[in-house]
Structure 1
């Protein structure tokens, strides 16, 4: 690799790391606020929050990689043009194809990283995240042992305890059960205990009152009790999803079980094909994002006023290609035979980049074409 290639590639990688870090931080903060509120407010610890955050990072990184790749290519190209570095290289005989070589290598490096994410890390992290979500949903203790807060383990259940003693005794307990549409039951007790027996969980309430409101006729019945046991396992128990999630399978596992994954996942053949081929189309799009950003700015040439017009055009092209990719994904989901369409945005982007590099390599082709027409 030539010295210029190493120099430009190092600049691209450094700026790519910077933009990726900034974008991941922004998206992570937005997601972390919601995640923190739902987990900590539901009685989970900070370690659980950090675990969920870490498991969500691979998908988050995969989302911002094309944007970071494009931003790095545009920023480095703009800076080198402002410093007249590219202008000097072109004046000394370096063709646009030579100048685009480190950008292509940069795009391939990002694409390899992206392929590792989409084919292995993201499915593994997603599968682990879903498994932990199911475990959290079935964790009765974490859902109920939060003092001073009205909690809703399920949509039709409300639980409250004023304070929890150090020995685990729940003081001043309130439990509203509205799962039966014909009857609402409210339990109040001065103290209560949670007992675990395998997968079953029982709430033992002491010195309390049960109030039952029948919706038909609006009749209210009350009963005092000295102690009362109530099985609350069903209140927060989540049904474990038996079907296979195609997004949770790594690419080798998806290919091995191609014949059965459609049946076990409950998804259409188009959805399976879209999931598989998107994992290869996304890395290719990173290469195209780098080349489109570089070639668009290159045809603008040096200007004391900057190349903001070319930057806007490059960004518009990226938005257009991404929009085409989103539209074609829905078509593939409808018809699995159309899976080659997923690679069409990358093909269009590569064609645009090649045409712009051809224009940069032959800037006088329009003048020559006019002279030929005039001579005829």
Structure 2
């Protein structure tokens, strides 16, 4: 690799790391807030919260990496153009095609990262996340045995424990069940124990009071009890019967067992094909946006006013490619035989980048040159 290639590639990688860190942090904070409300509100520990956020990171990184590569390419190209480094290299005989070589290396590196994430790491992390969610939803202790906090294990149910003794006894228990629209039942007890029965876990309350409010008569009945057993199996939402999701399978499994996976997940052939080829096309998109950003800025040439117009134009190209991705998705979902359409946005971006590089090299006339030639001929 030539010295200029190493220099520019190192600049791209440094800025790529910076933009990736910033964008991942923004996405991660947004998702972490939602996870924090859900997990901590259900009585989970900070360790579980950290585990869940770590399992969501591969999905976030996969989305962010191409955008970070695009931003790094724009920044480095703009800086090299402003400091006339690209102009000096062109004056020494470097063509735009030659200048684009380190950008191609950079795009391939980012594309390789996206390929590993999209085809291996993201499916594994999502599958592990589903397993952990199922385990936590079955964990009665984590969901209910939290002292000093009003918990809502399911809609219409409120549970509170003032204190949990070392022997497992719960002191001063409050349980409100409002799931039945015709009545509201509130149990209060001096102490309670969590036991296992043949029909599932149950809460045995000692020395308490039951208040039953009937609607719409608004009649209140109270009952004092020495002990009362309350089944809490219905308070715990389990995912035992949930079928596996298509996104939980690796790309290798999708390629080797397509029929088996479609039967297990219950998805149509269009959904299966779209998921498979969308994963395979994402690395190509990473290469496309990096090369397109460089070619757009280089095609503007040197200007003392900077390349802000080319930066805006590059952003518009990126938006158009992303919009085209959403356009080609529906035809593939309706007809799996149209799967090549999923590669069309990235290929159009590559062709556009090649056209811009050819224009910068003088191999394609600009619009103004074409108009002058037309005026001269007329």
Alignment TM-score > 0.5, same fold: yes
CA distance in 1, matches of 2:307, 2:219: 77
| Worse-superposed segment, 242-251 or 182-191 | 182-191
> Could you say if the C-alpha distance between residues 331 and 220 of structure 1 is closer, same or farther in structure 2, counting changes exceeding 3 Å?
farther
The answer to whether the 8 A contact 2:186-2:210 is kept is: yes
**Runs of 5+ consecutive residues of structure 2 not aligned to the other structure:** none
Kept after mapping to 2: 8 A contact 1:244/1:261:
no
- Partner SS, residue 283 of structure 1: helix
Mapped partners of 1:318, 1:346: distance in 2: 10
Indicate the residue corresponding to 1:104 in structure 2.
104
- Return the alpha-carbon distance in structure 2 between the equivalents of residues 147 and 333 of structure 1: 50
Report how far residue 70 of structure 1 moved: 0.2
Contact 2:43-2:151 at 8 Å conserved across structures: no
CA offset at residue 191 of structure 1? Answer: 1.2
- Single out whichever of 17-26 and 171-180 deviates more from structure 2: 171-180
Q: TM-score, normalised by structure 2?
A: 0.93
1-side partners of 2:7 and 2:324: how far apart?
34
Structure 2 distance, partners of 1:368, 1:227, is 93
- Please report the RMSD computed on the Cα atoms of aligned residues, expressed in angstroms: 2.0
Q: Per the alignment, in what secondary structure is the counterpart of residue 162 of structure 2?
A: strand
Give the aligned length.
376
Q: Which residue of 1 aligns with 2:249?
A: 249
Q: For the structure 1 residues 217 and 13, does the alpha-carbon distance in structure 2 shift closer, same or farther, using more than 3 Å as the test?
A: same
Q: Distance in 2 between matches of 1:372 and 1:323?
A: 35
Correspondence 1:14-163 to 2 at 5 A? 14-163=14-163
Query: Which SS does the other structure have where 1:202 is aligned?
Result: strand
TM-score (norm 1): 0.94
Q: CA deviation at 1:347?
A: 1.2
Preserved contact between residue 355 and residue 364 of structure 2 (Cα < 8 Å): no
Distance of 1:354 and 1:336 partners within structure 2: 30
Number of the residue aligned with 1:335: 335
* Alignment of 1:265 onto 2:265: yes
Structure 1 residue 7 displacement after superposition: 1.3
Specify the SS of the correspondent of 2:100.
helix
The verdict on how the C-alpha distance between 1:372 and 1:315 changes in structure 2, with shifts beyond 3 A counting, is closer
How many Å apart are 1:253 and its aligned residue?
1.1
- In 2, distance between residues paired with 1:199 and 1:61? 44
| Aligned equivalents of 1:3, 1:198: Cα separation in 2 | 74
Gaps of 5+ in 1: none
Whether the 8 Å CA contact 2:169–2:192 is kept in 1: the answer is: yes
CA shift, 1:111, in A, is: 0.5
Contact 2:358–2:364 (CA under 8 A) maintained in structure 1: no
CA distance in 1, matches of 2:167, 2:25: 41
List per-residue Cα deviations over 1:317-340 (Å, max 9, x = no partner). Answer: 101111211232233223322221
Please say if 1:359 is aligned against 2:359.
yes
